[in-house]
């Protein structure tokens, strides 16, 4: 199977290459692609190096699987070219709401890619993946009526320029930068992405729309989200209130969550993980799981995951592995 990685020099692309290095089903070295700025750049691969090339019309000839993490505009330009003969797994938001394109978290709806030989598969938004993993077991066992989310999102979610901006501000070199609308060091910013209608920002709209699509629900599932950028280097957190269709206790929910692949549950309601602890891990951690004292159908919890791994690269590599081997992980 011949693999290409577009966006290989970025935070997600480098993380995907690191994961692919360890996959037994990956034999030859992937084709590393990025913009013309990165042509000739060398990237580590299994003790040797890949030489990055600028993406062109001919890049995808002979490619079976193309992992994209190069932004929406790049994806809109190149995914249809690559998808003529390969399966494209795309990390951008370009195709996620297209009804013809599956939006996949393998543990929840991985069967949607089975048998696919060419076409586009969308990887969901990083915050949405971790919330979806925490909500899917509740949806399956009790049905969900409402999900209310407040995110606490790391700067790595906005790419390598964002990480550099936080590091510069932390070092006192620059009070502000070009990635975030206000200084991010020693601050929190309740605005991620572009402002959209009704007072929301588009990161919040992504969580609403993508959570419903992944869970196979329509607007009968009420979802709200406030997305907040925090001065954390890596791993997103989310405070979630879930209202089920039927009464559920925290103990019952913890058992359902612990049985779900890719989810870890803290032992008690005062236990939790932090972003530092989840940095570098592939699972989604659910902590502070407790009853909403106002409603026997409602639970509160704290959900943390590495946005570069389960929120992006690992989810994409899990999809790739399912396509390549038919295996479930």
Ligand X SMILES: NC(=O)c1ccc[n+]([C@@H]2O[C@H](COP(=O)([O-])OP(=O)(O)OC[C@H]3O[C@@H](n4cnc5c(N)ncnc54)[C@H](OP(=O)(O)O)[C@@H]3O)[C@@H](O)[C@H]2O)c1
Positions touching ligand X (CB under 6 A) are 7-13, 34-35, 37-38, 55, 69-72, 74, 91-92, 126, 156-157, 159-161, 307-308, 311-312
Catalytic residue among 126, 225, 244, 301: 126
- Of 91 and 283, the one with the shorter C-beta distance to ligand X is 91
Catalytic residue among 52, 225, 236, 285: 236
As to burial, measured by CB atoms within 10 angstroms (0-12 exposed, 13-18 middle, 19+ buried), residue 4 is buried
Strand ranges, E, within 1-101: 3-6, 31-34, 42-45, 48-51, 53-54, 65-68, 87-90
The rounded distance, in Å, linking the Cα atoms of 221 and 242 is 11
Minimum gap (Å) between residue 234 Cβ and ligand X: 8
Of all residues in the shown chain, the one whose CB is closest to ligand X is: 10
- Of 54 and 174, the one with the shorter C-beta distance to ligand X is 54
Q: Is 126 in the active site?
A: yes
Minimum gap (Å) between residue 178 Cβ and ligand X: 13
Minimum gap (Å) between residue 30 Cβ and ligand X: 13
The rounded distance, in Å, linking the Cα atoms of 259 and 232 is 30
Q: Is 270 in the active site?
A: no
What phi and psi, each to the nearest 5 degrees, are found at residue 220? -65, -20
**Distance spanning both ends of the chain, measured CA to CA:** 19
The rounded distance, in Å, linking the Cα atoms of 121 and 91 is 9
Compute CA distances 52 → 8, 49, 120, whole Å: 8, 9, 23
The rounded distance, in Å, linking the Cα atoms of 177 and 150 is 25
Minimum gap (Å) between residue 87 Cβ and ligand X: 17
Which residues are registered as beta bridge partners of 119?
87
As to burial, measured by CB atoms within 10 angstroms (0-12 exposed, 13-18 middle, 19+ buried), residue 7 is buried
- Of 83 and 126, the one with the shorter C-beta distance to ligand X is 126
- Of 251 and 280, the one with the shorter C-beta distance to ligand X is 280
Minimum gap (Å) between residue 309 Cβ and ligand X: 9
Minimum gap (Å) between residue 294 Cβ and ligand X: 34
Strand ranges, E, within 86-143: 87-90, 119-122
Just list the catalytic residues: 126, 236
């Amino acid at each position: 199977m011949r693999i290409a990685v577009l966006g290989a020099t970025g935070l997600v692309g480098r993380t995907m290459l690191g994961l692919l290095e360890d996959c037994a089903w990956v034999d030859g070295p992937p084709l590393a692609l990025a913009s013309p700025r990165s042509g000739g750049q060398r990237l580590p691969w299994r003790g040797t190096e890949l030489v990055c090339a600028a993406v062109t019309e001919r890049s995808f000839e002979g490619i079976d699987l193309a992992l994209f993490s190069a932004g929406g505009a790049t994806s809109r330009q190149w995914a249809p070219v690559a998808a003529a003969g390969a399966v494209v797994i795309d990390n951008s938001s370009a195709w996620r709401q297209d009804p013809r394109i599956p939006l996949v978290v393998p543990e929840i709806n991985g069967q949607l890619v089975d048998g696919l030989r060419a076409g586009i598969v969308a990887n969901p938004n990083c915050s949405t993946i971790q919330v979806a993993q925490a909500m899917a077991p509740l949806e399956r066992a009790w049905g969900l009526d409402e999900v209310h989310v407040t995110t606490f999102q790391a700067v790595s979610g906005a790419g390598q320029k964002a990480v550099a901006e936080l590091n510069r501000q932390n070092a006192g070199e620059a009070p502000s930068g070009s990635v975030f609308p206000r200084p991010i060091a020693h601050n929190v910013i309740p605005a991620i992405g572009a402002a959209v209608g009704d007072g929301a920002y588009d990161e919040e709209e992504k969580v609403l729309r993508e959570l419903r699509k992944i869970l196979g629900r329509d607007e009968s599932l009420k979802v709200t989200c406030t997305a907040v950028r925090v001065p954390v280097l890596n791993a997103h957190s989310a405070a979630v209130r879930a209202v089920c269709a039927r009464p559920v206790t925290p103990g019952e929910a913890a058992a359902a969550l612990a049985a779900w692949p890719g989810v870890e549950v803290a032992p008690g309601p005062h236990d939790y993980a932090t972003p530092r602890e989840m940095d570098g891990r592939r699972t989604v951690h659910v902590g502070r799981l407790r009853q909403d004292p106002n409603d026997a159908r409602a639970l509160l919890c704290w959900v943390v995951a590495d946005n570069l791994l389960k929120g992006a690269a690992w989810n994409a590599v899990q999809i790739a592995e399912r396509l390549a081997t038919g295996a479930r992980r």
